[in-house]
Structure 1
Amino acid sequence: MHKKQDFLIRVIDDEQYVLDSLALLLDVNGYQSECYDNAEDFLISVAPSVPGCILSDIRMPRMSGMELLFKMKERQINIPIIFITGHGDIEMAVEAMKKGAVDFLVKPVKEAKLFEAINKALDFYIIGGSEKEYRERISTLSNRERTVLELTLHGLDTQAITEKLGLSDRTIQGYRWRIYQKLGLNSIDQLIKIIRLEWL
């Protein structure tokens, strides 16, 4: 199991006082951090193999948080990202979550919310596995298992799936158990986290 010291939190913001305050807060709570005042410098120096997450302002003058997210996808940099936003940027932040961001925090950031979001992002590593590994595992699912998986991820409960597919509760539960076994997961929450990271 990872310890806090195993993770590197990358902080990206064009305001120095934000970088300083977040770096101090992370340090006091046992996390290592790296700070960047623009997204370009982050992209030049990032080491994707080092586990952790990104805390990034969504509105920056040179490269926005959304542009950063797209660049990361292009370069296959699979580090969970959390956006920090002003009240006027909430709609943009919600769109970013649809594109794969883990969460967004509204300024001024509350400490409890910050570490709740960081813990959510670091579940990426606690679950274990890479994008390639999960794609390989998903490829082992039967057509029926993939159907049950897709319906589950669309929010359907066991009863709704049984009605849609005309199968018994016990049969659907059996499919779910085999899905979890093949993917190496324990719960629907972990499946949802994988989808948020766009592993399917």
Structure 2
Amino acid sequence: MKPFQIYLIDDDEPVREAIKLLLRTYGMTVETFADPATFLAHVDPKRPGCILADLRMPLISGLQMHERLLERGIGWPTIMITGHGDVNACRRAFKAGILDFLTKPVDEQVLLDAIQSAFQTLERVLEKEESRELLRSLTDREREVLDMVCRGWATKEIAVALNVSARTIDAHRANIADKLGTSSVADFVQLTSANAELPIGRNT
């Protein structure tokens, strides 16, 4: 599994430094921030990672920070930590899409397990985003041909249905294979099934 960045946001410096030191002893890359505002000002969507944030912080709470990230289209897995066993806050956090909710003092193994789960979640999210971008790179006609191929249609059948030559369909299939990085029908089916909600007709 690819190692990702960990973004640690906590206004309590001793806690922040202790968690950073712990995670770095396990070879993890950790970037720390003393408050959500600083993190929000520096966060780069092109550097995805796991977010580990204190729930209760001055001015902007960890949950408010998470909501602002979502408004920017950044939905990285987030783990909230708090010194208060607030059931209502926990419920709100999960409803907002928080991956996990840990209480201070955080048990070392519990924290490591939560981060491992966050990394796995992030990897799946990024893989799906990548596959969506690949499908969006197809033209309308290429996507139409791809869907027919996935339904088991032969080249000649597709050509007749679309009123074009078989050579034209072969050219479309070659372009599809080039853009998606595979010519395997099984891979095509897996890719389109994972993105069934992505409509045809995004490009021309």
- TM-score where L is the length of structure 1: 0.63
2 CA distance for matches of 1:102 and 1:131? 21
Q: Pick one of 69, 74, 87 that aligns with 2:71.
A: 74
2:46 is matched with 49
Amino acid at match of 2:32: C
- 1:34–1:90 Cα change, 3 Å: farther
Shift of 1:52: 1.7
In the TM superposition, what are the counterparts of 1:24-103 in structure 2 within 5 Å? Answer: 24-103=21-100
In the TM superposition, what are the counterparts of 1:99-138 in structure 2 within 5 Å? Answer: 99-127=96-124, 128-130=127-129, 133=132
Moved over 6 A (4+): 178-181
1:11 is matched with 8
1 CA distance for matches of 2:65 and 2:5? 18
- 1:116–1:180 Cα change, 3 Å: farther
2 CA distance for matches of 1:86 and 1:131? 37
Superimposed CA distance per residue, residues 52-79 of structure 1 (whole angstroms, 9 cap, x where no aligned partner):
2000001101200111111111111122
1:159 is matched with none
Shift of 1:39: 0.2
Question: Contact 1:11 / 1:54 at 8 angstroms: preserved in 2?
Answer: yes
- 1:108–1:37 Cα change, 3 Å: same
Question: Contact 1:85 / 1:93 at 8 angstroms: preserved in 2?
Answer: no
Superimposed CA distance per residue, residues 145-171 of structure 1 (whole angstroms, 9 cap, x where no aligned partner):
xxxxxxxxxxxxxxxxxxxxxxxxxxx
Give the share of equivalent positions with the same residue, in percent: 39
Structure of larger gyration radius:
2
2 CA distance for matches of 1:21 and 1:48? 27
Indicate yes or no: 2:181 matched with 1:182: no
Count of paired positions: 142
Question: Contact 1:53 / 1:80 at 8 angstroms: preserved in 2?
Answer: yes
Shift of 1:100: 0.7
SS at 1:129's partner residue? Answer: helix
- 1:181–1:119 Cα change, 3 Å: farther
2 CA distance for matches of 1:40 and 1:63? 7
- Structure 1 unaligned spans of 5+: 138-177, 185-200
Question: Contact 1:39 / 1:63 at 8 angstroms: preserved in 2?
Answer: yes
Amino acid at match of 2:194: L
2 CA distance for matches of 1:131 and 1:57? 30
Question: Contact 1:48 / 1:79 at 8 angstroms: preserved in 2?
Answer: no
- TM-score where L is the length of structure 2: 0.62
- Structure 2 unaligned spans of 5+: 137-188, 196-204
- 1:121–1:66 Cα change, 3 Å: same
SS at 1:87's partner residue? Answer: coil
Amino acid at match of 1:107: K
Question: Contact 2:76 / 2:122 at 8 angstroms: preserved in 1?
Answer: no
2 CA distance for matches of 1:105 and 1:130? 28
